Structure 1
Amino acid sequence: MIIGMGSDLCNIDRIQNSLDRFGERFELRVFTEIERRKAARRPFTRAGTFAKRFAAKEAFSKAVGTGFKRGVFMKDIGVVNAPSGAPTLALTGGAALRLAEMTPDGHKAHVHLTLTDDHPWAQAFVVIEARPVIPESPVIPESLS
């Protein structure tokens, strides 16, 4: 079942202006180390890389219904890649706590994330799905069966 959904549209030039004006202070306040390393590997699209991640953080904060309140901070929301290469979110601190609070008992939250950009825009969509946890069947040793 879907328990949250959010989207955000971010202007890449606005992120570039923040990078120009505040530099590393802006990066350290908003982005995780993994996000900063990824952007550093993309010097020609650095602002776009950051803008997509900024949009993902905003979209997640909308999906959990708090915005950046109740202990949910931008640095607690990190864009990472699943083994398949698909983007997803790594959550810590207040963001992880808020997700746990809204996930129904007997379910596990699964975050779906999609990112795109076409200068001057970057966009992110987040869908949070609660999947039932299926208990494992007990293993009965052959000697008892």
Structure 2
Amino acid sequence: MILGIGTDLANIDRIAAVLERHGDRFRNRVFTPVEQAKAESRSRAVAATYAKRWAAKEACSKALGTGLRMGISWRDMAVTNLPSGQPTLHLSGWAAERLAAMTPPGHEAVLHLTLTDDHPWAQAFVVIEARPRTAA
């Protein structure tokens, strides 16, 4: 069953301007070290990579049903990539607590994430699914 859906559209040029203006203060407040390393390794797409991750965090907060309020922190939601390149979301802190609270008993939460960009836009779409646990 679907527990939540969220989407967000971020302007890459706006994120580039924030990076230029606030630099590490912005990076460290919003992005985990792993997210920063990924973005900084993409020399031709640094701002686009940050913008996609920004959009993913916004979309995730919407799928959690809270938006960025109620104690949720930007760094409670982290985007990483599987070896295949597929983006994934990892939740910690209050975001993980909210996910656990909205997951029905006997189910496990599965987060689905897709990211895309086409300058000047970056988009993320998040679906939170509850799957019945299988008896072992």
TM-score by length of 2: 0.97
Deviates more, 1:5-14 or 1:84-93: 84-93
1:2-32: CA deviations, max 9, x gaps? 1100000000011001001000000000001
Which position in structure 2 is the counterpart of 1:38?
Answer: 38
Q: Which amino acid aligns with 2:34?
A: I
Which position in structure 2 is the counterpart of 1:59?
Answer: 59
Bigger radius of gyration: 1
Which position in structure 2 is the counterpart of 1:96?
Answer: 96
Is 1:16 matched up with 2:13? no
Which position in structure 2 is the counterpart of 1:113?
Answer: 113
How many residues are treated as equivalent by the alignment? Answer: 136
Over the aligned positions, Cα root-mean-square deviation in angstroms equals 0.8
1:87-141: CA deviations, max 9, x gaps? 11011101111111100010000000000000000000000000000111xxxxx
Give me the whole-angstrom Cα distance separating, in 1, the residues matched to 2:48 and 2:116.
9
Does the residue aligned with 1:111 lie in a helix, a strand or coil? strand
Give me the whole-angstrom Cα distance separating, in 2, the residues matched to 1:77 and 1:8.
14
Unmatched 5+ stretches in structure 2: none
Give me the whole-angstrom Cα distance separating, in 2, the residues matched to 1:82 and 1:46.
19
Unmatched 5+ stretches in structure 1: 137-145
Q: Percent identity?
A: 62
Q: Displacement of 1:83 after TM fit? A: 4.4
TM-score by length of 1: 0.91
Does the residue aligned with 2:95 lie in a helix, a strand or coil? helix
Which position in structure 1 is the counterpart of 2:7?
Answer: 7
Q: Displacement of 1:82 after TM fit? A: 2.8
